[in-house]
């Protein structure tokens, strides 16, 4: 079971979307320069379809739900994204710290996927030297849209 710690409406995580970001705990990646080390521990409330339903009902106007983490159980992330796709009109996104998508992920369950651990030497998504990538899923393929963060 995966757990979440907080939920925030954000405008910068996914371009052109009003995103509900769900911070998932129990991160196994442990990036040395992580800005959210509190998410390394397995803490918080269970992330269930009932919890997602409540979040979606109480955050009217969002256009995307982004699961921030969950690398410890990609199959569960995939299942939850599929549930969102089948039960709402919002788009789905996953922020993973992995370099590559695991086999358990079904691209059709997502509209966006971010890959890559945070590397302080390379910087975050909004700098050209970043090692991280944000993709839009287009007809089963990943289209790199990382450049949308660069000024």
* Host domain of residue 80: 3-149
Q: Is the pLDDT of residue 146 over 90?
A: yes
Query: What domain count does the chain have?
Result: 1
In the chain, alpha helices (H):
49-58, 74-87
Q: Hey, what are 54's tokens?
A: 């409540």
Question: What is the value of pTM for the model shown?
Answer: 0.96
pLDDT digits (tens, 9 = 90+) for 20-76: 999 999 999 998 888 898 999 999 999 999 999 999 999 999 999 999 999 999 999
Let me know: does 65 contact 22? Beta carbons within 8 Å.
yes
Strand partners, 7: 22
CATH number, position 105: 3.20.20.70
């Amino acid at each position: 079971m995966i757990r979440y710690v907080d939920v925030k409406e954000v405008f910068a995580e996914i371009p052109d979307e009003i995103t509900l970001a769900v911070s998932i705990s129990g991160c196994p990646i442990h990036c040395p320069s992580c800005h959210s080390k509190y998410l390394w521990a397995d803490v918080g409330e269970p992330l269930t379809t009932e919890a997602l339903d409540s979040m979606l009902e109480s955050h009217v106007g969002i256009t995307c739900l982004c699961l921030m983490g969950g690398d410890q159980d990609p199959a569960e992330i995939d299942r939850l994204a599929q549930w969102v796709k089948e039960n709402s009109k919002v788009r789905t996104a996953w922020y993973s710290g992995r370099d590559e998508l695991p086999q358990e992920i079904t691209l059709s369950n997502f509209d966006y996927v971010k890959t890559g651990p945070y590397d302080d030497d390379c910087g975050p998504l909004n700098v050209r030297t970043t090692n991280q990538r944000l993709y839009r899923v287009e007809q089963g393929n990943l289209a790199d849209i990382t450049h949308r963060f660069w000024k």
